[in-house]
Amino acid sequence: MRRIAILGSTGSIGVNVLDVVARHPQRYAVAALAANVQWEKLLEQCLQFRPRVAALLDDAAAEALRAALRRAGSDTEVWAGADGVARIGALADADTVVAAIVGAAGLASTLAAARHGKRILLANKETLVLAGEWFMRTAREHHATVLPLDSEHNAIFQCLPADYAQGARAGDIHRLILTASGGPFRTRPLAELDAVTPEQACAHPNWVMGRKISVDSATMMNKGLEVIEARWLFGLPAERISVVIHPQSIVHSLVEYIDGSQLAQLGSPDMRTPIAHALAYPERIASGVQRLDLAAVGRLDFTAPDLGRFPCLRLGFEALRAGGSAPGALNAANEIAVAAFLDRQLRYTDIPRVCEDTLARVRVTSLDDLEAVIACDDGARELAREAASRFHSRRAAQ
């Protein structure tokens, strides 16, 4: 039986992991759960799955959870703060760690899991965007196994040779092709994008996701960051990674081989498919996902992305080529810009402008420890706040 720790259990990935786990009680047990601040939701999960430990980044939320668990007669121990969450990643009780805490906050706990040789089901983009080379090297040195949970990277993993993860047969691969839905504004006239509201940007046509990732999908920043992730997960340079718009979200990504063959992974747009694959790998288990009916789908469309419409995708490739701390700076700037947009302080079209302004002003350095990563992230966020403030002031003066 595998014992699982879930970092980010109250988010959409964590909820879906628990859904799949609950379908296979004979295979999986929950050793630990961690979240940011949603203690009421974490309380429900603790009472259902009875982990030995739960952790919350927010100290006040952790105390509220601790009191509620005592009243419910639960013996689940509660840890608080960033250190408490990082300890979950290293928990001796767990052999498998689901890394699904959103943002840079998930980096320390995911690194802890790698250093303790865990089987890591990776959904935290920032681990690879901020410190991809260092993280993957750490995982190899400590014999950790990294299995991607993002639907696109999991699809690529499924289409690669079985021994590819051990560094073999990379020469067989011509390129990786990430698919993107194009989000809700794929065909909207460019002149109308200035007026896009947070509610419109969060209404994804295919996936049910959180607000921040929904905006990233609309701008295609998510795909720019996924290109960076793919570079470190699979060891191929930027020029051998491409993106194609596929609005149906049925083909989740492809691998093109040197003989001209392209292998694709298809399925209904449901995160439980890659979750079930990674949980059971190299076996297969039922996920609860609705079966794909290609006849009912009827057609699959593919187009090249328009970088004029989606400048954030261009910025992802530029940051990857710049290397060092540039991808992390892009990620930090995007988090600041998206938060300001959701708070109605920036327009939708200001998001890539803030990101590009930050990339132009940030000093790119090499990264080899957590302190350096955090320092670069903090510096980029400050630059992004300054840029966001300037754009907001300009808009207000118009």
Domain shared by 331 and 300, yes or no: no
Domains held by the chain: number: 3
pLDDT band for position 395 (cuts 50, 70, 90): confident
Whether residue 346 is contained in a domain is answered as: yes
Which tens digit of pLDDT belongs to each residue from 349-364?
999 999 999 999 999 9
Whether residue 122 is contained in a domain is answered as: yes
Q: What's the rounded mean pLDDT across residues 211-218?
A: 90
| Cis peptide bond prior to 282, omega within 30° of 0 | yes
pLDDT, averaged across the chain: 94
Q: What pLDDT is attached to residue 208?
A: 67
Whether residue 154 is contained in a domain is answered as: yes
* Structural domain ending residue among the three candidates 125, 148, 171: 148
Q: What pLDDT is attached to residue 207?
A: 66
* Structural domain ending residue among the three candidates 117, 148, 179: 148
Per DSSP, the residues of 342-388 read HTTSS-TTHHHHHHHHHHHHSPP----SHHHHHHHHHHHHHHHHHHH
Residue 12: give the domain boundaries: 2-148
10, 207 contact by CB (below 8 A): no
Domain shared by 109 and 137, yes or no: yes
Whether residue 19 is contained in a domain is answered as: yes
State yes or no: pLDDT of 206 exceeds 90.
Answer: no
The domain that holds 335 is classified in CATH as 1.10.1740.10
Domain shared by 298 and 188, yes or no: yes
* Structural domain ending residue among the three candidates 148, 169, 192: 148
Domain shared by 118 and 39, yes or no: yes
Whether residue 335 is contained in a domain is answered as: yes
Which tens digit of pLDDT belongs to each residue from 54-96?
999 999 999 999 999 999 999 999 999 999 999 999 999 999 9
State yes or no: pLDDT of 204 exceeds 80.
Answer: no
Domain shared by 119 and 169, yes or no: no
pLDDT band for position 52 (cuts 50, 70, 90): very high
3-class SS of residue 138:
helix
- Sheet with 145-148: list strands edge to edge: 77-80, 53-56, 28-35, 2-7, 96-99, 119-122, 145-148
Which residue would you say has higher pLDDT here, 18 or 204?
18
Domain shared by 396 and 356, yes or no: yes
Whether residue 315 is contained in a domain is answered as: no
Q: What pLDDT is attached to residue 347?
A: 96
Domain shared by 51 and 167, yes or no: no
pLDDT band for position 304 (cuts 50, 70, 90): very high
Q: Which residues, other chains included, contact 383 with Cβ-Cβ below 8 Å and sequence gap of 6+?
A: 329, 333, 357, 358, 361, 362
Which tens digit of pLDDT belongs to each residue from 248-275?
999 999 999 999 999 999 999 999 999 9
Domain shared by 103 and 167, yes or no: no
Measure the CA–CA gap between 266 and 289, rounded to whole angstroms. Answer: 13
Whether residue 276 is contained in a domain is answered as: no
3-class SS of residue 392:
helix
Domain shared by 94 and 80, yes or no: yes
The domain that holds 69 is classified in CATH as 3.40.50.720
Domain shared by 131 and 182, yes or no: no
Q: What pLDDT is attached to residue 129?
A: 94
Whether residue 126 is contained in a domain is answered as: yes
Domain shared by 144 and 159, yes or no: no
Among 187-196, 229-238, 361-370, 382-391, name the one with the lowest average pLDDT: 361-370
Domain shared by 175 and 233, yes or no: yes
